Amino acid sequence: MLLFLHRPFVALANSLGASPDERKLNLFFLTLTASTMSLIPPLSVKLVSSFLLSYPFAALLKRIPDSRPDAKNIFIISVSLFYLVGLFDLWDGTRTLLISAGGTYCIAKFLRASPYMPWIGFAFVMGHMSVNHIHRQIADDPSSVDVTGAQMVLLMKLSAFCWNVADGQLPDDQLSDSQKRNRLKELPPLLDYAGWVLFFPALFAGPSFDYTDYRQWLDTTMFDVSNVDPAKKPPVRKKRKIPRSGGPAAWKAVSGLVLIGLFMGFSGSYYPSMLTADSFVEYGLLRRIWSLYMVSFTARLKYYGVWYLTEGSCILAGLGYNGVDPVTGKISWNRLQNIDPWAVETAQNPRGYLGGWNINTNNWLRNYVYLRVTPRGKKPGFRASLMTFGTSALWHGFYPGYYLSFVLASFIQTAAKHFRRHVRPFFLDPVTGNPTPKKKYYDFATYLATQLTFTFVTAPFLVLSLKGSLLAWSRVYFYAIVWTALSLIFFHSPGKLALKKQLEKRQGRASAKLVRSLSTDSLTGKEPILGISKDPEGDINEAVEEIRAEVEARQKKLRADFEAHQPKVNGMNGMNGTNGTNGTKAHTE
């Protein structure tokens, strides 16, 4: 650690009531990159400062000549090492990241021809990170500092890298469009690989991105606009191909700082430990629910702010570029968007809520777990959902609170699916499917239910321990579990049939199909969000059917083998019987 850099942070931290390193940095790193909302002590002064330092560093990075990708890589690696060692004294953490990255590169290089290479790479990085998760959890030492969270971000990148290398060995007809775009037919040079692994704007908190994105940014092919009218091409400076991005980057930075300021303002009144404090029971039920909501909301503000800051520095470097509208000439800078606060805070169903949270993690789970478990030519089913759920759970860590939240969220998604299919159509025109005047009341009710339900669901992510999570839930009388259970019971009772009959009658024909709206946050998608199954009942039924089919297939094979063996046995018995009879006759004579 560079002491001359450390001392100013000590003074600033003392004035803010925080430690310079915030010696719960390991917990901050862990929860910062996960799809969680756990609250920590005051924000690490150094960590936030490193996010802000990334802006001038990103501006310098963009000014390195496009013809010198090697210089860009060296600059990126140098800044990241400055953060890891110069600011945080994370020698062991640096070694951890290098082991994960180096081991993955070797696996991809020497096992490239094996169809199991991506799974071996995945097992390596997940096992390595799990050991660190367990070590950190057992130690439970707030004074220690590690990079488990940075390792979580790196795991997404490295496991995707293995799949992209494997895709590079396959013919086009076996790949989807996105797989063709991201495949790697050759391993990248080590310097390029190291620059991608240690890309400083996204080092500690993400966002994660594929190597192909980095390569296209590095060689500037990302910024080709041959299909855009020259008059509408984005402005650039001199010979630089990266468009000007100072405006959108500044907007992200200002928004992030405002959100972090709000977090610091609310965190003194709303913090996770209040949910398990003895004084919490002195509040009335409504105030307890309100406090639970505010604790969750306050924690979310922290993530909104931090992810905005990191995305902004990526935009300033040019990596957030996502194309130009050929009609308007407007540039999109959302390639690395990791959070949509508006979608989360205004969500009217679980899929909309979860879909706006930790977007890159959800994309990784979908593209590199859910769709990869499924054999080619088949649709994803129970095994894909189970593998995705398990991966998401292990990726977060081993605190019991994570698993309580995941399991409950799965059942909540099932209940929400039933409401959307059997209640929502009553508020739509039966012919056109357009909203009726009463639809606004349904929307408000579902908004309120969604926000209150996920306020309850995420409490264990804040408390972490099993005892504390159950205590926090009990103090609001398990309200989300109660109404979820009642909803599921109702939709498995004659009440569901009554609703269907009313809908059929309403549409004027007995065999009418239910009207469903087409929306971006529809519940009709099969893939899980953040590893949470949207239909655990269907997954369980599918698993039972798979087991039954497997048992029947084995029984059929055993019967066939037995029947094929029977003639041989009968033949042998016949021969033995004849010989035995003749022998008896001979003896008698």
Whether residue 548 is contained in a domain is answered as: yes
Same domain? 18 vs 145: yes
- 311 counts as catalytic: yes
Query: Is 86 a residue whose pLDDT tops 70?
Result: yes
User: Domain range holding 448?
Assistant: 375-534
- 552 counts as catalytic: no
Whether residue 363 is contained in a domain is answered as: no
Residues 6+ apart with CB under 8 A from 377: none
Q: Which of 396, 418, 422, 539 is catalytic?
A: 396
Q: What is the pLDDT of residue 136?
A: 85
Q: What is the pLDDT of residue 572?
A: 55
Dump the DSSP string for 297-317: HHHHHHHHHHHHHHHHHHHHH
Whether residue 308 is contained in a domain is answered as: no
Same domain? 118 vs 213: yes
DSSP SS3 for 253: helix
Rounded to whole angstroms, the Cα distance separating 209 from 203 reads 11
Whether residue 270 is contained in a domain is answered as: no
Q: What is the pLDDT of residue 302?
A: 93
Whether residue 347 is contained in a domain is answered as: no
Whether residue 280 is contained in a domain is answered as: no
Q: How many domains does the chain have?
A: 3
Query: Is 12 a residue whose pLDDT tops 50?
Result: no
Q: Which of 210, 311, 535, 539 is catalytic?
A: 311
Whether residue 467 is contained in a domain is answered as: yes
Same domain? 471 vs 553: no
Residue 585 confidence class, pLDDT cut points 50, 70, 90:
very low
Same domain? 446 vs 567: no
pTM given for the model:
0.82
Same domain? 50 vs 185: yes
Q: Which of 21, 22, 146, 167 is catalytic?
A: 167
Comparing CA positions, the residue from 323, 319, 466, 478 lying closest to residue 402 is 466
Least confidently predicted of 265-274, 287-296, 376-385, 458-467: 376-385
User: Could you read off the pLDDT of 413-437 as tens digits, one per residue?
Assistant: 999 999 999 999 999 988 888 899 9
Same domain? 83 vs 188: yes
Same domain? 33 vs 76: yes
Residue 186 confidence class, pLDDT cut points 50, 70, 90:
very high
More confident position, 447 or 520: 447
Token pair recorded at residue 181:
């775009």
User: Could you read off the pLDDT of 93-136 as tens digits, one per residue?
Assistant: 999 999 999 999 999 999 999 999 999 999 999 999 999 999 88
Same domain? 583 vs 528: no
- 563 counts as catalytic: no
Sequence letter at residue 324: V
Last residue within a domain, chosen from 199, 218, 241: 241
As to burial, measured by CB atoms within 10 angstroms (0-12 exposed, 13-18 middle, 19+ buried), residue 247 is exposed
Last residue within a domain, chosen from 487, 503, 534: 534
Last residue within a domain, chosen from 214, 241, 268: 241
Whether residue 529 is contained in a domain is answered as: yes
Same domain? 461 vs 563: no
Same domain? 427 vs 515: yes
User: Could you read off the pLDDT of 509-557 as tens digits, one per residue?
Assistant: 534 444 444 443 444 455 666 656 556 666 666 666 666 776 777 777 7
Q: What is the mean pLDDT of residues 456-468?
A: 95
As to burial, measured by CB atoms within 10 angstroms (0-12 exposed, 13-18 middle, 19+ buried), residue 439 is middle
Same domain? 467 vs 568: no
Angle 533-536-541 from CA coordinates, rounded to 5°: 135
Same domain? 521 vs 562: no
